[in-house]
């Protein structure tokens, strides 16, 4: 059996004096899609940020590709380069004149500087291939600040593709897109997942998408209330633990109306 891409054991995180995540443990297997669900303020983004080393943890262990994440948030460069992250919002000062190809190229570079032992042609080809895979090569010379929401998400996926990755982490990545753009984004994401063999760890409020596409679900409300297959974790009795019975009744009514 393959070793997990990510292992979390007893993770506890405070945001200032607030206990945001308490004693959370789970593992992400290669080639699988794991969704984190839960109400607003449940600690989902904090959990993701602790896994990435963006915010410090108070206790617990994080192992990425078998390598421990230090309490300072450090991983060996060779391991960190196997992780890609798509945030909920991508903020860029519109005064920065960075083009699409330049942004995607940063995914190839280390610390924003071209690796001295890699030729320019190799780097250019990697950027071209990544943009072509997300059907965005025609955007290569546009400034990132001029892109639409859907175009920006495609370019960020290209940023992830420019190097081989083992783990893709998404914090509500389709946020801000209309329904058509969100559908296109997920279609592209899962096509690329099949081609690249990624493991995905994602935060989502779209329980329908989670049921259709995910292999494993973590139901979080500060603590990990349940985990398992979508059929188990999205059952009404499990959702009630995190969201409350009123949410479950509302969600069930919406599903019935949608079917009608």
Q: Are 62 and 95 in contact (CB under 8 A)?
A: no
Quickly name the fold that domain 1-76+199-260 has: Rossmann fold (3.40.50)
pLDDT tops 90 at residue 204: yes
Using pLDDT thresholds of 50, 70 and 90, give the confidence band for residue 246. low
pLDDT at residue number 21: 97
Residue at token pair 């949608």: 258
Q: Is the dihedral of CA 12, 42, 81, 143 positive or negative?
A: negative
From 24-28, 146-150, 244-248, the region with the lowest mean pLDDT = 244-248
- Tens of pLDDT, residue by residue over 30-72, are 999 999 999 999 999 999 999 999 999 999 999 999 999 999 8
Instruction: Give the domain ranges of the chain.
Output: 1-76+199-260
pLDDT of residue 163: 87
Question: Which strands form 199-203's sheet, in the order they lie side by side?
Answer: 83-86, 167-171, 199-203, 33-37, 216-221, 223-228
Q: Is the distance from CB of 202 to CB of 33 less than 8 angstroms? A: yes
Q: What is the pLDDT of residues 175-185, one digit of tens each?
A: 778 888 888 88
- Mean pLDDT rounded to a whole number for the chain: 87
E-assigned strand segments in the chain: 6-15, 18-28, 33-37, 59-64, 67-68, 83-86, 167-171, 199-203, 216-221, 223-228
Position with higher pLDDT, 221 vs 118: 221
Indicate the helix (H) or strand (E) that contains 136: none
Which two structure tokens, joined as six digits, stand for 85? 């992250």
Q: How confident is the model at residue 28 (pLDDT cuts 50, 70, 90)?
A: very high
């Amino acid at each position: 059996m393959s070793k997990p891409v990510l292992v979390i054991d007893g993770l506890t995180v405070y945001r200032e004096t607030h206990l945001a995540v308490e004693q959370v443990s789970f593992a992400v297997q290669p080639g699988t899609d794991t969704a984190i669900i839960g109400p607003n303020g449940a600690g989902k983004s904090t959990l993701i940020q602790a896994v990435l080393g963006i915010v410090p943890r108070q206790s617990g262990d994080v192992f990425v590709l078998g390598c421990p994440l230090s309490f300072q948030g450090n991983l060996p460069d060779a391991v960190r380069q196997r992780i890609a992250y798509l945030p909920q919002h991508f903020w860029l000062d519109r005064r920065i004149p960075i083009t699409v190809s330049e942004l995607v190229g940063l995914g190839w570079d280390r610390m924003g500087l071209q690796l001295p032992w890699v030729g320019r042609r190799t780097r250019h080809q990697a950027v071209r291939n990544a943009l072509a895979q997300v059907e965005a090569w025609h955007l290569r010379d546009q400034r990132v600040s001029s892109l639409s929401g859907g175009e920006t998400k495609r370019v960020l996926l290209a940023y992830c593709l420019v190097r081989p990755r083992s783990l893709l982490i998404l914090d509500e990545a389709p946020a801000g897109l209309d329904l058509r753009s969100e559908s296109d984004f997920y279609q592209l994401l899962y096509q690329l997942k099949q081609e690249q063999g990624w493991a995905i760890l994602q935060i989502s409020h779209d329980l329908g998408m989670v049921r259709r596409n995910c292999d494993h679900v973590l139901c979080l409300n500060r603590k990990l209330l349940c985990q398992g297959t979508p059929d188990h974790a999205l059952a009404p009795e499990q959702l009630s633990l995190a969201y409350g019975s009123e949410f479950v009744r509302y969600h069930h009514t919406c599903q019935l109306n949608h079917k009608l």
